[in-house]
Amino acid sequence: MLRYAAAITLIICAALPCARAGTAEPPAADPRAALLKLLPAGSKLEDLRPSPIAGIYEYTQGAEISYLTADGKYFIDGNLYDMKSRDNLTETLRTHARVALINSVPESEMLIFSPANPKYTITVFTDVDCAYCRKLHSQMAELNRLGIRVRYMFFPRTGPGTESWKKAEVVWCSPNRNEALTRAKAGAALDMNKICSPTPVKREYELGESIGVRGTPAIVTENGDYISGYMEPRELLDQLKEFQVAKR
């Protein structure tokens, strides 16, 4: 009986490859691993995903999207469009990334100015010393009257250790943060010795960099659309309406 079983095994193995114990084929290497060596330090495998084009990967850093060929020869910095729908596929990815990044911050770490029944919510990366940030804030009553809820996140353009950074921390450490921000944006003197820990300034600044903020005010809508710079309240409302219609 044993000889018969052995004979059957030999016949099967002659027709099909038989694996020997301990000689299983190793899993194939992830082709993205070699590409990581070409990308900035800290890049991860999950930052590279197949794009709609065969042989090209999407490369994501925060809300910045670019493309890399599978052979590592070419890096593409630009937008990818669907020619049938005319949709900007790259911008769609950016909007989703912006929403995810902003939603990672609880509203308890933002400064919020809201009407009773808001129709729109915007997140504004702001610098206490930015002239156009101050102008936007001076029109807060009008923004709220138009149904726009404003959530502020700190983005001191001059970076860590600067006076604007310190002012942002002082505003956060004040008993009434909204009032302190309003006073600071009006040019009032702040108690620069007011210190508390921790503050969200560093986290929000780095998040702004990940989103691609280069200047202030930088406005992000609920759907992740990006508005670079100041707009008059009525113009901003019209832009928000346009974004809303475009999403339908």
Catalytically active residues, by annotation = 127, 130, 133, 157
Crossing angle between the packed helical segments 131-138 and 177-185, to the nearest 10 degrees: 120
Helix (H, G, I), strand (E, B) or coil at 32: helix
* 88 burial via Cβ count (<10 Å: 0-12, 13-18, 19+): middle
Instruction: Say if CB 211 and CB 155 are below 8 A apart.
Output: no
Report the amino acid identity of residue 162.
T
Instruction: Identify the H or E element spanning 13.
Output: helix 2-15
Backbone angles phi, psi at 123, to 5 degrees: -110, 125
